Structure 1
């Protein structure tokens, strides 16, 4: 498998994005909301890298977006979360001090 320059850039940016994603993300957001936000950021990464590499086609945007989403997820769970960097940024920029419990939760 050969990655294009756009896909490589999407992966590199994706690996560096979790601390930036942690700035607007609020600690009290539900997991699915955080996941959707990450996918929106990955879509922006994919679209931008495809555009700036002159590969703005449907397939290229999709592969760059998927590459970015994978890189963001791997980077978050292997580097940024275990190191505590992303969670500390998220906590420092959250507007609420306590998480909201789900309805019916214990």
Structure 2
């Protein structure tokens, strides 16, 4: 019988994978990529308009105010609380 991996999901996925065709030939792990182009293409900067033809955007000063109310206390459990909880008896399942 097969050994179940530690991850049960991996076991389910492996169980549903189909076997390859009998004439299947495995290819390279990663497809080959085209080599980098040896031709240097110079970067052309966009022609910016002259400074007097486009007005600058208006200067806006936006201030946001965010307020937070008092936070409720966060429950924190000590190791003793956890041990006490784990020691509680488990009721039998209902019929």
Larger radius of gyration: 2
TM-score by length of structure 1 reads 0.16
Higher helix share: 1
TM-score by length of structure 2 reads 0.17
The higher relative CO (CA closer than 8 Å, separation ≥ 6) is in 1
